[in-house]
Structure 1
Amino acid sequence: MFEILNGKRETPVPGTPNEYINIYTKCWQYNQDDRPEMKQVLDDLKSIKIENNNEIIINELLFQYDNFSRKGIYKRVDFIKFIKEHITLNNKNEYEIFNYLLNNKDNNPQNIFLLAIFYQYEIGTERSEINAFELYKEASERGYINALYQFGVCHDYGIGTEKNKSKAFELYKRASEKGHIKSTHKLGIYYCNGIGIEKNEIKAFELYKKSAEEGHFNSIYQLGFCYQHGIGTEKNENKALSLYKKAAEKGLIKSINFTGYCYQYGIGTIIDEFQAFQLYHRAAIESHIVSVYNLGYCYQYGIGTEINKIKAFGLYKEAAEKGHDFAMHNLGECYQYGVGTKRNETKAFELYKAASDKGNVDSIYHIGYCYQFGIGIEINEVKAFESYKKAARELLFDSVYRFGYCYQHGIGTEKNETKAFDLYKVAANWEHIASINSLGECYQYGIGTEINKTKAFEFYKKAADKGDSHFSTYSFGYCYQYGIETGKNKNKAIKLYKKTAEKGYIASLNNLGKCYQYGIGTEMNKAEAFKLFENASQKGHLDSIYQLGFCYQHEIGTEKNEIRAFELYKKAANKGHINAINNL
């Protein structure tokens, strides 16, 4: 007791915080007046608890950043959301943690780094990308590797400084050399795309492989992409699928989507549309926009599920509202053709325009088509021509064909049949059916080239054999009917006319009518001829309007009606039909 009175105290337990030592040593003061009051002790204890709690919160934030970054699942939105939620769950507010970081940043690069994040994303303070940039720089100079990476990100995207891809590359390289996995992944992206450094796909592949082996989910996915497309390595679709699956199992949403894509198109596996649908559905639930679009596509065309055009429309709308350009385009088609919704050509045009502004080539082509035919907008052939030209430069072959068609017929530009022929040839070399057929027409009639009926027949046959061009099948039949570079075969001709007439091709309806009228390749059937001429004339076919008048005049398949014949001849004559003019 005398020893205590003389000032002897027990030795503090090693590791006891200095703040606690200060409190209880003050309480040991011999003079009662020198001891703190109980309220002061409680306030001091509360302060220590709060500060220690702040440190725990900060350490957890740093741990989670490192965890997100290392695995490659770091998303800005997700991490910022985590920061805010974690602070709230610990009964704190953002301003309080910000101030703690601000007051405890000296000689603490981790706190400096977090303070930069708070400035960058407006957590507990006003946004200041310049402050964030300076703090990332300071923390990186103090050797904090995550700050070195983020300093590279600032130069990469122009955060608080001007964009400088070369500088970003150098910083990512330094961080990668220190073992920062995400920086290694970033270097792979830079080498793969030639950003800030000369393109080197082999180097990119090696870097993706290195970070994938460290468990970086995005690198596992990217490595699969390299194997799928033969980037920096030999193409190996089986390995690609295996890696997509591996990243998908880790929860990487875009890899779930790509695994679905592989099953849909048989990449590294047999086609399994049901499995593709299930994977798209799984990723779409997580709001993965590409998967939402893909799911809509499945519903529209019945891929792995029953067709449901209303669901397709809804999913395209959801993805389009979040900026997915292909969804915008498909939503435009839904409005144009009334798929899962009422037809609205004005909305269709607006959506094509929005998607084309994002560089969607299909929509650029459709904008041209809308301008050419007045779909949702007034006809403007010059704008149609310009849109076709723009999309044709991207080798969209529908647009190359339309670009040629404009030159052939002088739509929005001066007529130039040589250019038309050359453009048809470009698209035909890529098996574009309408262009193959148009080449046949060019050779048959000498459009932009010399007449060559042998080649005309070959191109018509090639297009008809592909089964998608009504005009080529009709033209092929025409060759058989009149013996153009083949023996006359009226039976074959009528079969080909029937094939396209059944699909509503009006020129075939007209020629089939003539076959029935005169018994060409079939028994004469004047009533059937009359019906076919009537059908085609209602669709605006000029020669059929004349032929229908001829039927009324001469009582072919119908009762004689000279007044009706006169009206039809007059209608055809007004559009320049020579025989109708003569018959009038």
Structure 2
Amino acid sequence: MEILQGLREMIIPGTPEEYVKIYTECWDDELDNRPTMKQIVDRLISLISGTNSSINADDQVINRDQYTPISSNQQLNPCTSDPLQGGLSKVIQNFHGMDTAEVVKTITTSDKSLNRIIEEILILISVRLDKGKEWKKEIESDPNAMFLLGYFYYYGVETNIEKKMAFELFFNASKQQHTLSQYYVGLCYLFGDGVIKDEKLAFKYIETIANNDCVAGQLELGHFYKKAIGVEKDIRMAYKWNLKAAHNGNLRAKCILGNFYLNGEGVKKNYESAFELFRQSAEGGYSSGISMLGHCYIKGVGTNVNKQKAFALYQKAANLGNKTAQFNLAIIYKNGDGIDKDIDKAIHWYIESAKQEHRKAQYNLAIIYENGDGIHKDIDRAIYWYKKSAEQGHQKAQYSLARMFRIEGDIDGAIHWYRKSAGQGYYKAQYNLAQIYESGDDIDRAIYWYKKSAEQGDRNAQYNLAVIYENGVRIKDLDKATYWSERVI
């Protein structure tokens, strides 16, 4: 870092005076005049408590991301017993929907002065590390300082990512009943970050802070019960913990709770309650709540159908970066549902959503590129987006990718993706896989997959199955031949 080499950046215009005072004191040429680590951390936490930053993210899915990230302007305290609020606490609250790069970007873009202070703290740390045991004793006596340093190591904020070091710092601070550190110890056990993965221990730590009224813990615990992470699946318990978080005013919890009522999970289905919870979440500025409220208006869930309101809500959530809203907005533009058709805008929003790994958007975008719908046909891009979607388990994308490989003569690639899709029950993939096996004289496998497809009503599969049984290449069975022939008629 240039700052470590003695170079000082200009103060960012508009930086709050309190922030300026902290990091300019850190620049003091006289080392003894600089604030101590504890003084900086205490003042930083005090300032963060008054921060009201906003994170724009989106729901996704797959992988370590266990929750739909928050996009909210609401001042949240993830753990009501902990002093941290604002910027850092929102990152913590949103951890499941953000990778390391996103967290660093969030800190940098949502509060540049906070990022500057972080740099200066790291400078102070690097200088005071030379003082050895005295400095170590100073930080170990302050759980806030241990947590903050662990946080930097965990995300690689102005330092290398050191998950093992982060875990040790979180763990030591957690022994002093530091709630946010307990939360991160749970996450480390959940993901195996810096420690051997142990879902039961993750559950134990998260349950502890949830019982201490930590909203982030309550959200996490609800997810653990829903997905059977470290505990037996229990939808009613999942509902219970999300309800607690919602009662604590958490916008994300209200949106999740709305989905429980929408789908009748852990509670009796109630569209009016779902609508009201989505409305509350949306009014707080949570992008997924806004998107789900749009869904209610376009489908008439708990309210009258109002496509204009739905469009406006999807537009608002899409502008906040919500990938589901972006996907739905693209569909509206493509179909001209309540508005004029606009393929260019449809493609724009499909791309925005697809870039955020929305697999349906990726699949639809691939179709557009393959068919040249309102855009120049581009098979390479079609394959690219089919593959992105297929890798996320989209069965039709897997089938389409297999079809593309087959056209190009890559039979091994085709078989691989046909199997993926067929294994998920897609009848077209089952039929095409059977065709390949039949052409390769693997009649047993051909019959197996033709039958799978035929049982779903595919007439081509029914016909081919009848022919195989009638001709008796391996197995002659006129009764079965007649049975499947009758299904074709």
What is the TM-score with the length of structure 2 in the denominator? 0.71
SS of the aligned residue for 2:78 comes to helix
Is contact 1:361–1:396 with CA below 8 Å preserved after alignment? Answer: yes
Deviation at 1:205, TM superposition (A): 1.0
Question: Among 235, 249, 256, which residue is 2:283 paired with?
Answer: 249
Is contact 2:399–2:417 with CA below 8 Å preserved after alignment? Answer: yes
SS of the aligned residue for 2:76 comes to helix
Question: Among 426, 430, 447, which residue is 1:396 paired with?
Answer: 426
**1:261 and 1:323, CA in 2 relative to 1: closer, same or farther beyond 3 A?**
same
Match of 2:255 in 1: 221
**1:379 and 1:169, CA in 2 relative to 1: closer, same or farther beyond 3 A?**
same
Is contact 1:277–1:303 with CA below 8 Å preserved after alignment? Answer: no
Q: Which amino acid aligns with 1:392?
A: A
Structure 2 residue 114 is matched with structure 1 residue 87: yes
Provide the aligned C-alpha RMSD in A.
3.7
Is contact 2:190–2:198 with CA below 8 Å preserved after alignment? Answer: yes
What is the TM-score with the length of structure 1 in the denominator? 0.61
Structure 2 residue 388 is matched with structure 1 residue 354: yes
1:195-215 residue CA offsets vs partner (Å, 9 max, x unmatched):
111111111111111221111
Structure 2 residue 94 is matched with structure 1 residue 75: yes
Question: Among 330, 335, 339, which residue is 2:364 paired with?
Answer: 330
Q: Which 10-residue stretch deviates more, 443-452 or 152-161?
A: 443-452
Is contact 1:87–1:93 with CA below 8 Å preserved after alignment? Answer: no
Question: Among 418, 438, 442, which residue is 1:414 paired with?
Answer: 442
**1:64 and 1:109, CA in 2 relative to 1: closer, same or farther beyond 3 A?**
farther
Matched-pair identity in %? 23
1:216-254 residue CA offsets vs partner (Å, 9 max, x unmatched):
222211111111222212222332222122111111111
Distance between the aligned counterparts of 1:394 and 1:157, measured in 2?
27
Distance between the aligned counterparts of 1:150 and 1:140, measured in 2?
9
Deviation at 1:187, TM superposition (A): 0.8
Structure 2 residue 455 is matched with structure 1 residue 426: yes
1:409-453 residue CA offsets vs partner (Å, 9 max, x unmatched):
x3566356754662244212xxxxxx2576489779986834369
Distance between the aligned counterparts of 2:177 and 2:359, measured in 1?
42
Q: Which amino acid aligns with 2:455?
A: V
Structure 2 residue 108 is matched with structure 1 residue 121: no
Question: Among 59, 62, 65, which residue is 2:46 paired with?
Answer: 59
**1:145 and 1:305, CA in 2 relative to 1: closer, same or farther beyond 3 A?**
same
Match of 1:309 in 2: 343
SS of the aligned residue for 2:303 comes to coil
**1:88 and 1:147, CA in 2 relative to 1: closer, same or farther beyond 3 A?**
closer
**1:101 and 1:245, CA in 2 relative to 1: closer, same or farther beyond 3 A?**
farther
Match of 1:379 in 2: 409
Is contact 1:312–1:340 with CA below 8 Å preserved after alignment? Answer: no
Is contact 2:252–2:286 with CA below 8 Å preserved after alignment? Answer: yes
Deviation at 1:184, TM superposition (A): 1.6
Distance between the aligned counterparts of 2:402 and 2:298, measured in 1?
31
Is contact 2:278–2:293 with CA below 8 Å preserved after alignment? Answer: yes
Deviation at 1:91, TM superposition (A): 11
Distance between the aligned counterparts of 2:484 and 2:168, measured in 1?
75
Q: Which 10-residue stretch deviates more, 89-98 or 379-388?
A: 89-98
Distance between the aligned counterparts of 2:384 and 2:338, measured in 1?
31
Deviation at 1:97, TM superposition (A): 6.3
Structure 2 residue 234 is matched with structure 1 residue 206: no
**1:411 and 1:275, CA in 2 relative to 1: closer, same or farther beyond 3 A?**
farther
Is contact 2:433–2:449 with CA below 8 Å preserved after alignment? Answer: yes
Match of 1:263 in 2: 297
Distance between the aligned counterparts of 2:186 and 2:280, measured in 1?
29
Deviation at 1:167, TM superposition (A): 0.8
**1:380 and 1:224, CA in 2 relative to 1: closer, same or farther beyond 3 A?**
same
Match of 1:7 in 2: none
Match of 1:451 in 2: 482
Is contact 1:98–1:124 with CA below 8 Å preserved after alignment? Answer: no
SS of the aligned residue for 1:188 comes to helix
